[in-house]
Amino acid sequence: MEDVIGIVDLFSGPGGLGEGFSRLRHTDGRPVFQIDLSVEKDVIAHQTLRLRSFLRKFGEVLPDEYLSFLNRGGVDEPNWEVLYPEKWHAAVHETLNLTLGADGTAAIIAERISEIRRLRGDRVILIGGPPCQAYSLAGRGRKPGNLGYVPHVENRHRLYEEYIDVLRQLRPAAFVMENVKGMLSSSIEKRKVFDLVTQDLKGGNGEPEYVLCPLTGEPSLDGEEMPRSFIVEAERHGIPQARHRVIIVGMRRDLLLSGKSLELPKLPVEAKQVTVRDVLERMPIVRSGISARGGNRDDCNDWKVTVAASSARILREESPLSGGSRARFVSAVKSVSAPAQIKASNRVGGRGRMALPPQCPDELAQWLLEPRLKRLVQHETRGHMKEDLGRYLFAASWTLATGISPKAADFPAVLAPEHKNWTSGKFNDRFRVQAWDRPSSTVVCHISKDGHYFIHPDPAQCRSLTVREAARLQTFPDNYFFKGNRTEQYIQVGNAVPPFLAWKIARAMAPTLHRVLTPSHTERHCNTLTVAMS
C-alpha cells in the first residue's frame, strides 16, 4: 500500500481521533490512512486503544471471537495474543503506554519517528492535542524572565512542548490539533495563548513552515489568523452533540506551494442537525439502580414504588406551567404514577432493540451499527439516591413538556437538594436533561461523577445516561469496547474526539493530501475516496 498515509497519534485517549482517520477508505477498500504510532499515558485508556488497534488488523470484518465476546456482555474476554499472536504483537508495537515528557520517552519516540520517516517519507500526518491544562502555559523554550514562564506549571507546559518537538522531528505533511475553546480567550502576560500556540505550530525560521487551515473559516496566508474561525461546532457537522472545540489543521507550506492547484480542507455544514432522539430513542429501556447510605438493597419493585411515590409527590405540587405545556407535564408524570405502569425493569440492556430510528442519517447509522451484534454492551445503569429519582422524573417530564431542561427555580421546594446555595443561581443547571429533539450538551468526563448533567429524556427510565448512550452521542461505533470499570469508561468517552467527526475531518483533508503527495504523472482522481463501515 504505497499510497497510504501514515499517522502518528499523540495523547490518544481511547482512540477517537485515530478511529475516524483509520476508517476512511478508497472505493476499492484500501485505507487512506493507517496508524503507525499512538501514544497514551493512562493505563486503562491505553488498553482500550490497544484492543482497537488489534481489531483494525482484521480489516473491515471483525473476528467472530470478538463479536461473541460483546454478545456475552463483554465478559470472558479471549486471550488475543494466543489466538492471533501476529496481529496482537503488531498492535502492541503500534500503541505505546508512555507519558510524553517523562524520562526516557523522548528517545523511544525519536527512534519510532525515524522508523516512520524511513517507511513513509512525507506521507505521514500528526494528530492529537495536549491536555487542555497545557494551555495554562504556551510557547516552547521560554525560560525565567521570558514570556509565559511559570515554574509551578512547567510540568504541564512540557506536554505542549512534546507535541511541538514531535512536529519538528516528524515534519509531517499535515497535522491536526484539537483542544478546548478556552484557549482562545486565555492570556499570558497580556498575550493571547492562541497567538503563542499558532506561532509555535507554524514553526520555521523566518518563513512559516506550516499554513494553518480553519476547517470552517477562511485560511490566512499572511499569518493573521482569526481565532474563532478555528472553532468547530460538532452539531453543525452531523454529530448529535453541541461540542465546540478548537481544531487547527496545518498543511506543510512547501507541499502546498509545489505548483499544483488545490483547495484547502473544509468541513461541510449539514442541513439538518442530528438529535438525541436520532441515536438513543430505540435503545433498550433500562432503570437505574438504587444507592443509599447504609447500602439499601437494589430491588426492582422498590425502585418502581419509589418512582411512583415521587410521581404522586410531584403531582401534589403547584406548577408554573400552563396550557399545553402543563398538560404534557402532568401526562408524563402520571405515566409512572403506579408501579404496574413502569416498563423499565432491568438495569442492563438485554438482547434486541438494536435498530436506530428511521430519521437517523444513513451515513451515521451505518457508522454506529454492527449488524452481527445481538446486544448493546456497556449499556448498564448506575445507582442513584432515592431522592434523585424524584428530581430526575420531574426534570425529564418538564423537558418533555417544554423542550428545555428546568432551572433550579423551576423545581418545587419538596424536591430541592439540601444545598445552602440552591436558590443563589449557582446551581441553576445542577440537573440537566438531554432533550430528545436537539443535540446533547457536550459529553465530558464529569459524567463519571454523578450523572446529574446527563439525565435521560424518558421520564419513565428516571436515570442518567449509560456508558453506551454517552458513547453513541460521541459517535463511537456500537462495537467499540471500553476497558476498565464504569467510571473509567465514562472518563474515556468524555475525553475523546467524536470518531465520526474525526472521519469527516479525514475526508475533508484527504483530497488535499492526495493532491500534494501524489506525483503528477500518476495522479488519481480524489473522488475515489469514500468510507468503509467495519
Would you say 496 and 442 are in contact if contact means Cβ atoms under 8 Å apart? no
Strands 33-39 and 95-96 turn out to be: parallel
Range name among 171-185, 274-288, 490-504 with the lowest pLDDT average: 171-185
In angstroms, the CA 497 to CA 401 distance is: 32
| For helices 323-334 and 386-402, angle between their N-to-C axes, nearest 10 degrees | 140
Beta-bridge partner residues of 80: none
Would you say 245 and 232 are in contact if contact means Cβ atoms under 8 Å apart? yes
Task: Give 192's pLDDT tier (boundaries 50, 70, 90).
Answer: confident
Whose grid coordinates read 468517552? 493
Range name among 119-133, 308-322, 354-368, 409-423 with the lowest pLDDT average: 409-423
End-to-end CA distance of the chain: give it in Å, rounded.
19
Task: Give 284's pLDDT tier (boundaries 50, 70, 90).
Answer: very high
Per-residue pLDDT tens digits for 300-347: 999 999 999 999 999 999 888 999 999 999 999 999 999 988 888 899
* Per-residue confidence (pLDDT) for residue 527, from 0 to 100: 45
* Per-residue confidence (pLDDT) for residue 231, from 0 to 100: 94
DSSP state for residue 498 in the 8-state scheme:
P
Q: How far is CA 436 from CA 181, 236, 273, in A?
A: 26, 17, 12
Per-residue pLDDT tens digits for 443-475: 998 888 878 999 999 999 999 999 999 999 999
Instruction: Tell me: pLDDT of 531 over 60.
Output: no
Q: Which helix (H) or strand (E) holds 119?
A: helix 105-120
Q: Please give the backbone phi and psi of residue 13, each rounded to the nearest 5 degrees, phi first.
A: 60, -140
Task: Give 252's pLDDT tier (boundaries 50, 70, 90).
Answer: very high
Beta-bridge partner residues of 380: 348
* Average pLDDT for 354-372: 93
In angstroms, the CA 362 to CA 366 distance is: 6
* Per-residue confidence (pLDDT) for residue 223, from 0 to 100: 56
Instruction: Tell me: pLDDT of 148 over 70.
Output: no
The pLDDT mean for the chain works out to 87
Three-state DSSP state, 375: strand
Would you say 504 and 476 are in contact if contact means Cβ atoms under 8 Å apart? no
431 Cα distance to chain centroid: 22
* Per-residue confidence (pLDDT) for residue 294, from 0 to 100: 53
399 Cα distance to chain centroid: 25
Range name among 104-113, 284-293, 399-408 with the lowest pLDDT average: 284-293
Hey, how many other C-beta atoms are within 10 angstroms of the C-beta on 65?
Answer: 13
Range name among 137-141, 316-320, 355-359, 426-430 with the lowest pLDDT average: 137-141
Instruction: Tell me: pLDDT of 259 over 90.
Output: no
Would you say 397 and 411 are in contact if contact means Cβ atoms under 8 Å apart? no
* Per-residue confidence (pLDDT) for residue 139, from 0 to 100: 39
Percent of the chain, pLDDT > 90? 66
- Rounded to 5°, the CA angle 152-155-159 comes to 145
In angstroms, the CA 178 to CA 129 distance is: 5
Q: Please give the backbone phi and psi of residue 358, each rounded to the nearest 5 degrees, phi first.
A: -60, -25
Question: What is the 3 state secondary structure string of 284-342?
Answer: CCCCCEECCCCCCCCCHHHHHHHHHHHHHHHHCCCCCCCHHHHHHHHHHHHCCCCHHHC
* Per-residue confidence (pLDDT) for residue 524, from 0 to 100: 47
Task: Give 522's pLDDT tier (boundaries 50, 70, 90).
Answer: very low
Per-residue pLDDT tens digits for 84-130: 999 999 999 999 999 998 899 999 999 999 999 999 999 999 999 88
